[in-house]
Structures are given as C-alpha cells and as structure tokens.
C-alpha cells in the first residue's frame, strides 16, 4: 500500500511538472522564501573550505542595499506580470506545503528539495525528447544483462538502421552510442558496459511518468 501511495505521489509531481513552466516555478519558489534565505545568510559570520575562510559582514546599510546589483533572479522575474508571478507563488506554496513547517531552515530545505526535483525531471524530459526508442531499449537490456560490450549490443543500432536507412545514412554507431555516454546514462569499465545510477533513475522516471518508450528509431 505504501509503495502504491509513493508511486501516486511521484506521478502527481510529474503531472505538476508537465503543466508549470520550469523557470517560473523555480524563480517563484525562491521568491516565496527570499526573506528567510536572506535572514539565514545574515546569520553567517564565517564561510570557508579547508583552511581558507572568509569573514562575512552582517551589517549592510540601506544605502548599500540600494546600490547592490540586481540579481539574476530579479531580472528574470521582471519578465513576467505580477499577476503571473502571484499565481505561481500560490501554486508553489500549496504544492510544497511549506507553511506547515516551523523554522526557516526547514522551509529552505523543503524548497531546495523541491527545486532539485524540478531540475531532475526537466533534465530527464530533455533526454527523453532527444533519445531514440532503440537507445532506450539498450538501457533496458544492459540493465538486465551483464558482461555486455559495445559489439554485443550493436544489433540494436543495426535493426534501427534497417528500419530507417535514410535517417542513419550519416549517423554512425559511434555517434549513436556516444549519446548514452554523453548524457551519463551508460558507462564502460574495461570494455564492459553498465548502466549508470542516472540511467536507472531515467528508466524509473519513464515508467512512473508513463512515457512512451516505443519511439521511432
């Protein structure tokens, strides 16, 4: 029962992602907690890595704030009408249920996780829009078979080429396979192919979002 509920919740997230514009969603989410984020930053007195650190000033005068350069987020938000921004602010607030959280730190963590989820799904959407059905089948095949090599899975390419010879006329097997490597869906260790963690999650995303894996080519 719990697994079913988790699947339904994930599908609800995916449906939301398909209906809301990505840049606006992330930007508006950040705007909702702009003040808590600034308050958190103002509490920081020292930041650093290793043996190097930088002292942070907590006090900023009003005149200094006015002279600060407009942030990238503010510039992007300025592209949209206030009514649009408000609509998405409400959508993000409702979806994240951040009003139920007690502290700014909890709210920021929830918002960060939400933003990460949006970027993951956006990334997978881009991959899906560019991947071929035969390449998806390679991922599925390698995921369930061990000791596969570039030569042993070449039949996926050859079958696709036979079905669409004109398309593959100037598209080599190396280029075809490199797509999976370039998007970090497939890796090769000592000549043996293996699906990556990202590749596994991509297949999971296709299943949970009911994407059509029987694409052409």
Q: What integer pLDDT is reported at residue 64 of this predicted model? A: 53
Q: Which SS3 state, helix, strand or coil, does residue 102 take?
A: coil
189-198: average pLDDT:
97
pLDDT surpassing 80 at residue 69: no
pLDDT surpassing 70 at residue 197: yes
43-54: average pLDDT:
47
Tally the residues of the chain: 217
Q: What's the Rg (C-alpha) of the chain?
A: 23
pLDDT surpassing 80 at residue 175: yes
What the chain holds in terms of domains, given with CATH numbers, is: 2-127 (no CATH), 131-208 (1.10.10.10)
Between 10-14, 118-122, 169-173, 185-189, the lowest mean confidence (pLDDT) is in 10-14
5-23: average pLDDT:
52
Tokens of 79: 């592209």
Q: What integer pLDDT is reported at residue 78 of this predicted model? A: 87
* pLDDT band per the 50, 70, 90 thresholds, residue 54: very low
Residue the block writes with tokens 């209906």: 19
pLDDT surpassing 50 at residue 115: yes
Q: What integer pLDDT is reported at residue 36 of this predicted model? A: 53
Q: What integer pLDDT is reported at residue 154 of this predicted model? A: 98
Answer yes or no: pTM beyond 0.75.
Answer: no
* pLDDT band per the 50, 70, 90 thresholds, residue 4: very low
**What gap in Å lies between CA 53 and CA 46, rounded to an integer?**
7
The stretches of the chain forming alpha helices (DSSP H) are 2-19, 22-32, 34-42, 62-67, 72-77, 82-96, 104-130, 133-144, 154-163, 173-182, 197-208
174-185: average pLDDT:
97
């Amino acid at each position: 029962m719990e697994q079913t509920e988790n699947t339904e919740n994930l599908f609800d997230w995916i449906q939301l992602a398909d209906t809301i514009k990505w840049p606006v969603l992330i930007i508006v989410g950040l705007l909702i907690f702009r003040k808590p984020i600034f308050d958190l930053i103002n509490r920081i007195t020292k930041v650093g890595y290793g043996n190097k650190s930088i002292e942070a000033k907590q006090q900023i005068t009003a005149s200094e704030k006015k002279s600060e350069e407009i942030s990238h987020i503010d510039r992007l938000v300025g592209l949209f009408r206030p009514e649009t921004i408000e609509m998405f602010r409400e959508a993000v607030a409702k979806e994240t249920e951040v009003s139920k959280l007690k502290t700014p730190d909890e709210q920021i963590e929830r918002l960060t996780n939400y933003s990460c989820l949006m970027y993951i799904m956006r990334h997978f959407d881009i991959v899906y829009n560019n991947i071929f059905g035969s390449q998806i089948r390679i991922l599925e095949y390698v995921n369930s078979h061990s000791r596969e090599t570039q030569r042993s899975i070449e039949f996926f390419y050859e079958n696709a080429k036979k079905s669409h010879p004109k398309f593959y006329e100037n598209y080599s097997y190396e280029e075809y396979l490199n797509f999976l490597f370039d998007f970090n869906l497939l890796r090769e260790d000592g000549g043996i192919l293996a699906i990556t963690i990202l590749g596994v999650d991509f297949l999971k995303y296709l299943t949970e979002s009911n994407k059509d894996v029987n694409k052409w080519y």
